[in-house]
Structure 1
Amino acid sequence: MASGEQTEERAWKRILDNNKGAFLILFAELVGASMDAIARFLQLGGRSFHPFQVIFARMSITFILSSLYMWYTKVPDFPFGKPVVRGLLLTRALFGFFGLWCLYYSVHYLPLAEATVFRFLVPIVTAWACSLLLRTSFTWKELTAGIVALLGVVIIAQPAAIFGHTPDTPHTGTPIDAVTPRQRILAIAISVLGVLGASGAYTMIRVIGSRAHALISVNYFALVSTIGSTLILLLTPSLSFILPHGFREWALLILLGILGFILQFLLTAGLQLDKSSKATSMLYTQIIFALAFDWGIWGVLPGMWSCIGGAIVIGSTLWSALQKQEKPVKGTVKKADEETALLGAQAGDTVEGVQRRDLRISGVGTI
């Protein structure tokens, strides 16, 4: 009996050891979905925090924690990075700030699952942008996947000019019921714009490469988002800071910032440990967590057309991400850039192979 228990324990330990990276990525996606759920809850709660105040709460705390960690661990070139890449880091941060605002705006009017689906367009758009700026390859398969994914977006949006009827928004006695077709279409349009923001951020990360530590890039993003959201809240007459009331609101706002910092570590560690296609697959589990939060908190489940469109988007981008390198290029990677560091360069990886794999995976986890 004892021998059987030891054998079972060894089997479980072997499973955990072999899939440690995948489990970390899975946990990272749960953290990411939790952050989106908290942001949506704060906006739809009794006092309706504005998206810019939610961004301020998340990014100010992330900035403080990230700065303390880099100071304690003596990260090279902290806090501003090398002078040659500071402009690129600032551009990356501006793109990220815009993409994050688009995300938080969209979750005010869309279920989490729908808002999450649009993020899966980011790797394809990033690959296309890098093909223009960095002369990386952009294959016909990636182009086809992008066109099919856009078809999925159209099916989710269900424009009246094509479908001729009101979109099948869920009706469950929740604030979603108050969303008009016009607000829904606008939220979807802003989600698509957010894809451009996130893709711009990841393109800049590829341009920066190994010239800046990953956390310095995150810190620029957090600082710009904190300053930007503060200025908008102070200078816009119709907007203002709402002081959190009670323990729950304080706890949620603080938790949002802490989770943002934890997400960076989990995603980085998981992608370092898992160098296989399992990493890509696990990144897509966020949609499952989003569906669970939609149903558990708001009692919302997507309509039929939203499910069909979402499946098309996820299927086409996942297919693109799992494609193998067709033509190896001479020369191996000797020094990893930020995205390669997330994945861990494998022996025998080619320059183009690593770049294409990175582009497919980047953007699925977080901005």
Structure 2
Amino acid sequence: MSALGFALMSACVKLASARGVPVLEIVAARALVSVLLSYLDIRRKGIAPLGHNKPLLLARGATGALALICVYYAVTTLPLAEATLLQYLHPVFTALLAFHFLGERIHRFTLICIALSLTGLATMMVPVWSSTDTPLPLLSLTAGLAGAGGSAIAYILVKTLSKTEDSSVIILYFPMLALPLSLLLLGDDLVIPEPETLGLLLLVGVFTQVGQVGLTKALQGEVANRVVAYSYVQVLFSLALGWLVFAELPSLWTLAGGGLILSGALFNLLARRG
């Protein structure tokens, strides 16, 4: 559910950007919808909206907000499949952080998954140094990697907070910080969207909420390494949406790199079941 929600969110982000909406305005719209939905859910549950561990909740919100800006920049400046593949290197970072901070053992099959993912990234980036293919923008690639690293930190914080905080409270802090940060950075670049574009911005927030709820619930009930491995399904959704909605045909390098990354995730899951 989380993977499908985030894939649909990324497609709506790209569509809104194509209509001239700045990236930071998309972030702000997503955050506004998410704040409202999270607050209504907290009121429904009858719990305290600000939680117990406020410093850690604030850290999770700030890290997620900065990572989100990087991810959205990559999504709006790269083909959808490439942007998604870069973002979904976060299990590499998550596994290492979970080992260091949560004491989660990194099994042999997780190390193989990491090795295949890094090889896939290197394969995908071959056009950057090749004169025979159109290279991907280096700044966009850097933003995608920064988003993946920031997401991993946010996931570790979510996993830690899930022991004491309700999922709706954890989700609330993310848009609560992302909204003022994005508006501050946006400045005078605000664009008044047309009705159709406004609908896309609303869908960005709704699909984000679906993805966040699914991810937070999953992290509450399973170790971080296994949860993020399942999230690789988003790559398949994004490849399909990129083809169906944007007529984007991935390059051979992207297909080869994506195949290696997905093979690593599949090996990780099958090895765990065994």
Asked whether the two chains share a fold, i.e. TM above 0.5, the reply is yes
Matched residue SS, 1:123 = helix
Query: Which residue number in structure 1 is paired with residue 7 of structure 2?
Result: 33
1:300 to 226, 245, 248: 248
1:189 aligns with 2:142: yes
Query: Which residue number in structure 1 is paired with residue 175 of structure 2?
Result: 222
Matched residue SS, 1:211 = coil
Partners of 1:200 and 1:218 lie apart in 2 by 15
1:254 aligns with 2:202: yes
Offset at residue 140 of structure 1 (A): 4.0
1:80 to 30, 35, 50: 50
2:167–2:217 contact (8 Å) kept in structure 1: no
Partners of 1:140 and 1:281 lie apart in 2 by 14
Matched residue SS, 1:81 = coil
Query: Which residue number in structure 2 is paired with residue 44 of structure 1?
Result: 18
Offset at residue 152 of structure 1 (A): 0.9
Partners of 1:209 and 1:273 lie apart in 2 by 9
Between 1 and 2, higher relative CO (CA 8 Å, sep ≥ 6) is seen in: 2
Q: 1:79 to 1:272 in 2, by over 3 A?
A: closer
The answer to which of 195-204 and 256-265 deviates more is 256-265
Query: Tell me, which stretches of 5 or more residues in structure 1 are unaligned?
Result: 1-24, 170-180, 327-367
1:242 aligns with 2:191: yes
Partners of 1:38 and 1:145 lie apart in 2 by 30
1:117–1:314 contact (8 Å) kept in structure 2: no
Query: Which residue number in structure 2 is paired with residue 172 of structure 1?
Result: none
Q: How does 1:100-249 map to 2 (within 5 A)?
A: 100-158=68-126, 160-161=128-129, 164-167=130-133, 169=134, 181=135, 184-234=137-187, 239-245=188-194, 247-249=195-197
Offset at residue 64 of structure 1 (A): 0.8
2:158–2:219 contact (8 Å) kept in structure 1: no
Offset at residue 226 of structure 1 (A): 0.7
State the superposition RMSD in angstroms.
2.8
Moved over 6 A (4+): 268-274, 278-282
2:14–2:75 contact (8 Å) kept in structure 1: yes
Number of residue pairs the alignment of both structures matches: 272
Q: 1:144 to 1:266 in 2, by over 3 A?
A: closer
Report the TM-score, using the length of structure 1 for normalisation: 0.67
Q: 1:136 to 1:296 in 2, by over 3 A?
A: closer
Q: 1:65 to 1:292 in 2, by over 3 A?
A: same
Matched residue SS, 1:323 = helix
Query: Which residue number in structure 2 is paired with residue 362 of structure 1?
Result: none
Report the TM-score, using the length of structure 2 for normalisation: 0.88
1:106-126 per-position Cα deviation (integer Å, ceiling 9, x unaligned): 112211111112233222311
Query: Which residue number in structure 2 is paired with residue 352 of structure 1?
Result: none
Q: 1:92 to 1:146 in 2, by over 3 A?
A: same
Question: Could you tell me which amino acid in structure 2 is paired with residue 196 of structure 1?
Answer: G
Query: Which residue number in structure 1 is paired with residue 235 of structure 2?
Result: 287
Offset at residue 223 of structure 1 (A): 0.5
Partners of 2:15 and 2:55 lie apart in 1 by 35
Question: Could you tell me which amino acid in structure 1 is paired with residue 25 of structure 2?
Answer: Q
1:124–1:317 contact (8 Å) kept in structure 2: no
Offset at residue 267 of structure 1 (A): 5.4
Offset at residue 208 of structure 1 (A): 2.4
1:65 aligns with 2:37: yes
Partners of 1:270 and 1:98 lie apart in 2 by 23
1:257-281 per-position Cα deviation (integer Å, ceiling 9, x unaligned): 222223344556789999xxx9888
1:107–1:115 contact (8 Å) kept in structure 2: yes
2:38–2:168 contact (8 Å) kept in structure 1: yes
Query: Tell me, which stretches of 5 or more residues in structure 2 are unaligned?
Result: none
1:123-169 per-position Cα deviation (integer Å, ceiling 9, x unaligned): 231121121122322234323321321121111111555xx4243x5
Matched residue SS, 1:243 = coil
Partners of 1:192 and 1:143 lie apart in 2 by 19
Partners of 1:279 and 1:128 lie apart in 2 by 14
Query: Which residue number in structure 2 is paired with residue 54 of structure 1?
Result: 26
Offset at residue 322 of structure 1 (A): 3.8
Matched residue SS, 1:305 = helix
